[in-house]
Amino acid sequence: MNARVLPEAIAGYGRVAPFTRVLPPPEWVVRAGQRIRPHVRGHEKLLDSLETAFVACGISDGATLSFHHHLRNGDQVLNRVLAIAAQRGLRGLKIAASSIFPVHAPLVEHIRAGVVTGLHTAYMAGTVAAAISRGALASPVIMTTHGGRARAIESGELRVDVAFVAAPAAAIRGNLSGAEGRAACGPLGYAMVDACHADRVVGVTDHLLLHPPEVVDIAQDRVDFIVEVESIGDPQGILSGTTRATQDALGLQIASSAAQVIAASGLLTGMTGALCLAACAALAQSDFPSKPIRLVIPYAAGGLSDGVVRAVAEELERTHSMKVIVDNRTGGNTVPAALAVTKATPDGYTLGWFSASTFTTVPALTPNLPYKTSEFQPVFMAYRGPIVMAVANNVPATNATEYIAYAKKQGERALVGATAKGGAGHLMAAALGQDAKVDVELVAYCGGPSMMLELLSGQLPAAMDILDTFLQQHQAKKLRIVGHNGHQALGHLAGRAHVCRGGLPERQGPVLARTVRPGRHAASRRESAERTFQCRDARACGYGAAGPRSRSHPTQASRVRSAHRTRQGVLGVHHR
């Protein structure tokens, strides 16, 4: 082809229109139709696998599949989806990814096998880019700007059959968020146009919620199906390519100059200016912290601990211009979260948020723990408070004694919910049974939100946890706090007796929550981590909309009741 002469058309691209001049804005802007997907009673969006999503969406040869790149070089969703496409024997697929990174190297083999024959993207690097440059793809790659890609989808020029949206958090009704979960990446801006105009939208997540997330980026009426996978990607890969803290002398000089120009111009003021200056300053930093700090917590999103952790994270991001990723590792009696902290590199970038039971009762009740408590070093104590007992409004009891009598009258064991086996609530429930000389059946949950849901609905008759878990709903008269184990009467609960008499307050102290880090930190990193967390006291957040991971819909209390009736010994069932 003569470089000076453009052909009239290119196979796989279409008619070629040479650039002649800058065109004036059009009088009319054409947008492709948007499909609204209302929730239909009885129709469940949650699918059991990506393979099922292929069937549900009717993906066939020649389909156009779109992906976003918020996880950048940590993304695993594109590779997962194309592996399934290859297994199903599909051919001639067109991939409309907002960006292609080195992590997407398996795409090369799918191109050579004919699974993928078209590519539409705004950025490409790594193995795929090298293979394309050597002629691996017969048809030309359509390269646009990020805005050009959005315009092409919006106008209908690029028609997407199925959009696979990697969502760090997703609710079972379809609401998607990038603000929480292990792979939190921020607002899902690149995927919003796909969700609006694709024929089918599949949210792929590794953090499934029972309720809508606190921050919804893509609403449920834009999403057809939800699929939960083990992992959507590695959030450490977000800081890759052009999005990373530079160590280059020239890059640091550019960042410093840019910050000075912005400050001197006076064009950006208030929050916008502060954010821009913080971004420039963050890129120019060469010492700790030079990458996101991961804060691991063993509790479900939406509960008290999660709220406090996120308040601390927001304060750190505001005052120190750093990124803090909250990693919810629920279940396993806090052991998986604790193990994740001990396995992390002791460089000050991984911290854990645990209650005292993780280092006291859990080791006593769990044989062969995969770590030692001596491997942790405390950073600061976040809060402390009493354990309280609350009952559902359909339970006619004003104290623990009346609840025990009510349970006996119903011919059942006294069910008491708690957020962990071996935690303070569990031990208090056991002490209640010991003092009352009755069998108390523990109903264990992975976090406060799931326990609250069943308590408020009346499925769970009683529960024990820290005061703040129940206080808001108690004040709204949606449940009743009937006692506590404190040594003094609480101002909010004047007149409430101790939950159980006969020494429980002496043998069960207040709940402590503290932040720890893995041991063996270098002294400089240890001091940096301590300085980092010298921020103002975090306020405990109220209940957000987020909920626990849940793959099944029967209530936890009903499961324990069923197991009891069939004479199965159930104690400490973990809600998954």
CB 415 within 8 A of CB 459: no
563 in Cβ contact with 442 (< 8 Å): no
Q: Name residue, tokens 């559902």.
A: 392
146-155 helix and 189-197 helix, angle to the nearest 10 degrees: 10
CB atoms within 10 A of CB 318: 13
* Cα-only R_g, the chain: 27
Give the other-Cβ count within 10 Å of 129's Cβ.
18
What is the per-residue pLDDT for 41?
A: 67
CATH topology assigned to domain 29-238:
Glutaconate Coenzyme A-transferase (3.40.1080)
CATH class of the domain whose range is 292-385+519-543: alpha beta
Give the contacts of 55 (CB within 8 A, at least 6 positions apart): none
CA distance 556 to 210: 14
For each of the chain's 576 residues, which pLDDT tens digit applies? 445 678 888 887 788 888 777 777 777 777 777 666 666 666 789 999 999 999 999 999 999 999 998 888 999 999 999 999 999 999 999 999 999 999 999 999 999 999 999 999 999 999 999 999 999 998 999 999 988 999 999 988 899 999 999 999 999 989 999 888 888 888 898 899 999 999 999 999 999 988 888 889 999 989 999 999 999 998 778 766 566 666 666 777 777 777 777 777 776 554 444 444 444 444 444 456 777 888 898 877 776 677 788 888 888 787 777 788 888 888 777 888 888 888 888 777 888 888 777 888 788 878 888 888 888 877 777 767 778 899 999 999 888 888 888 888 887 778 888 877 767 778 888 888 887 778 888 888 867 778 888 999 988 999 988 887 888 888 889 999 888 876 555 555 545 555 543 333 344 444 445 566 665 544 444 444 444 443 333 222 222 223 333 333 355 555 544 544 333 322 222 222
Is the four-CA dihedral 490, 493, 496, 498 of positive or negative sign?
negative
Which of 472, 485, 487, 495 minimizes the C-alpha distance to 541? 472
Which residue shows structure tokens 């402590």? 512
Element (H or E) spanning 556, and its range? helix 556-565
Q: Which long-range contacts (CB under 8 A, 24 or more apart) does 433-438 make?
A: 435/500, 435/501, 435/502, 435/503, 435/504, 436/400, 436/401, 436/404, 436/500, 438/404, 438/407, 438/408, 438/413, 438/414
Give the separation between CA 123 and CA 131, rounded to whole angstroms.
14
Domain residues of the chain, as ranges? 29-238, 246-284, 292-385+519-543, 387-509+551-565
- What is the predicted pLDDT for the residue at 35? 67
Partners of residue 293 on adjacent β-strands = 324
The predicted pLDDT at position 331 comes to 76
Cα separation, 35 vs 221, in Å, equals 8
- Work out the burial of residue 256: count CB atoms within 10 Å of its CB; fewer than 13 is exposed, 13-18 middle, 19 or more buried: middle
Q: Which residue has the tokens 């929550």?
A: 513
In words, the CATH class of domain 387-509+551-565 is: alpha beta
Backbone angles phi, psi at 207, to 5 degrees: -140, 90
Q: Is 84 helix (H, G, I), strand (E, B) or coil?
A: helix
pLDDT of residue 490: 56
With CA atoms as reference, report the closest residue to 77 among 54, 103, 47. 103
CATH topology match: 29-238 vs 292-385+519-543: no
CA 422, 424, 429, 434 dihedral sign is positive
pLDDT at residue number 379: 76
Residue 570: how many CB atoms within 10 A of its CB?
A: 16
* Distance (Å, whole) CA 572 – CA 443: 6
**E-strand stretches of 48-131:** 64-67, 93-97, 116-121
Question: Which amino acid is it at 319?
Answer: T
Is 329:340 a contact under the CB 8 Å cutoff? yes
Distance (Å, rounded) from C-alpha 85 to C-alpha 232?
Answer: 17
* Three-state secondary-structure class, residue 354: strand
Q: Which of 557, 244, 250, 287 lies closest to 418 in space, CA to CA?
A: 557
Q: Where are the alpha helices (DSSP H) in 266-368?
A: 270-284, 304-320, 335-343, 361-365
Between CA 353 and CA 514 the distance in angstroms is: 6
- C-alpha–C-alpha distance, residues 277 and 287, integer Å: 18
- Cα separation, 252 vs 358, in Å, equals 43
Looking at the DSSP bridge assignments, the partners of residue 208 are: 170
Q: Would the CA dihedral through 192, 196, 198, 203 be positive or negative?
A: positive
